[in-house]
Structure 1
Amino acid sequence: MSTEESIGERLRSARLARRLSLRGVAQQLGVSASLISQVETGKTRPSVATLYALASHLDVSLDELLGLGAVERPGGAATPVSSSVQRSSDNPVIEMENGVRWERLAMQPGGAADPVLVSYAPGASSSIEGKLMQHRGQEYGYVLEGTITLQLEFDTFELHPGDSFHFDSERPHIVSNRGDVEAKGVWFIVGRGSAGSVLGAHEAGQAQRSSESGTDALHRSIGA
């Protein structure tokens, strides 16, 4: 089974466990039911924005998406798999639409931060549709290679190797690579939810509705 199929199956299982329909989730997130179906069956890779929205709405953590479970300890207690050192060849990877790649770095399972090595191919963007995204938490980043373009509401910044950033993730934002070489950086997303989850389902619905209204207003203002 491919990575896309595995992630899609986990999203589908989470949706069914919550007794949510494709149409209902699609309506809540403002996307088509066919797109969610294609993601669940591994026929298409989601954009960063779509993956965030689905994981948030279904209350699925990054480790759960990657299938990183727990091991059984003596006495029957299940403990998350953990190691102080993680080799690059062991980095769990999520390949997303339009040339965006996430590699989950070493972390304490269930911790407050998601450390990710991100790669953006030339022309890649966190949202294929060009819509700005919002979610709970704080984002920190450090650019390693290439040039990253970060748009925060009405402000746009070009970030080069050695540059760093921080912002409240509830601010409408989009990340892209407008250059002609691959761009890489290390991102830390902090405080996206308890027990490593992106958001609780109820909070995700509220955040998504806020995102849609706020982003639409912003797009009307800037003529996007």
Structure 2
Amino acid sequence: MADGRKTLGAVMADLRARNGWTLKEMSQRCGIPVSTLSKVEHDRLSLTYDKLQQLGEKLNVSMADLFAEQEEAPAAILGRRSVGSIDKAVRVDTPNYEYYYVCTELRHKRMVPIITRIHAKSIEEFGELVRHSGEEFIYVVEGTLTVHTEYYDPIELRAGESIYIDSGMGHAYVCGPGSTETLTVGVMSSADEDLSHMVYEAHHRLSAPEEQSAPARKTKAK
């Protein structure tokens, strides 16, 4: 990309290269058509967090490890550290969100930290609620946020406020009143000991019609 950040396409290509898979072999393992994988690798398609999680589970790769570039040397003590910055983050664009995955070099993490710019202005624009295994914490940095969930009435959060939810509950984050874009910091986690062994029963099989084309966005200061 123009800003030098690693793209989802590069992440997918690296994952395939690390395992020595052809596009056809990767397609057979994850159930995604070869043509779709090719489009993702060339950044003509994007995948939402829940779809990436499903992909990782099919390939036995955790969300925390999906973006890692190389194997991390075993640590003799529990003293791992990673300093993240948005200019080194992996950026993934979807119609509703602009994800920035940070601290990606550490493998076997039990949390997935994400900085997100939210673009959807209403639940109608957002579409169907999403669900995935684990839990998540969302903190509003800029703007206002409206949180929709399947068991509760919508709630509005302002900068400095946060929410913690069960990710298996249908949910959606959209810009709140008066905001054209909302910036959040989130942490996705799982109760399982190892994220790579999470079992998630997808409501829809990941296939070409379900993936969302990533709209072209003008490069702007973040």
State the TM bucket, normalised to the shorter chain: 0.5 to 0.7
Question: Counterpart of 2:48?
Answer: 47
TM-score (norm 2): 0.66
1:144 aligns with 2:173: no
Paired residue total: 194
Assess if the C-alpha contact under 8 Å between 1:148 and 1:158 holds in 2.
yes
Q: Distance in 1 between matches of 2:121 and 2:16?
A: 26
Secondary structure of the residue that 1:9 maps to in structure 2? helix
Contact kept, 8 Å, 2:117 with 2:181, in 1: the verdict is: yes
Unaligned runs of at least 5 residues, structure 2: 206-222
Q: Could you tell me which residue of structure 2 aligns to residue 191 of structure 1?
A: 190
Which of 117, 120, 133 lines up with 1:119 in the alignment?
Answer: 117
**Aligned AA (2:58):** H
CA 1:35/1:71 → structure 2, altered by over 3 Å: closer, same or farther? closer
Q: CA deviation at 1:56?
A: 3.2
Percent sequence identity over matched residues? 23
Change (3 A) 1:132 1:53: farther
What is residue 3 of structure 1 aligned with on the other side?
7
1:137 CA displacement? 0.7
Taking the aligned partners of 1:24 and 1:5, their CA distance within structure 2 comes to: 16
* Distance in 2, Cα, partners of 1:15 & 1:51: 20
1:176 aligns with 2:174: yes
What corresponds to 1:110 in structure 2?
A: 108
Counterpart mapping for 1:47-126 below 5 A: 47-72=48-73, 78-79=74-75, 84=81, 86=83, 88=85, 91-98=88-95, 99-105=97-103, 109-120=107-118, 122-123=119-120
Q: What secondary structure is seen at the aligned counterpart in 2 of 1:46? A: coil
Q: What is the CA–CA distance in structure 2 between the aligned matches of 1:105 and 1:50, rounded to whole Å? A: 20
Conserved in 2, the CA contact under 8 Å of 1:23 and 1:33? Answer: no
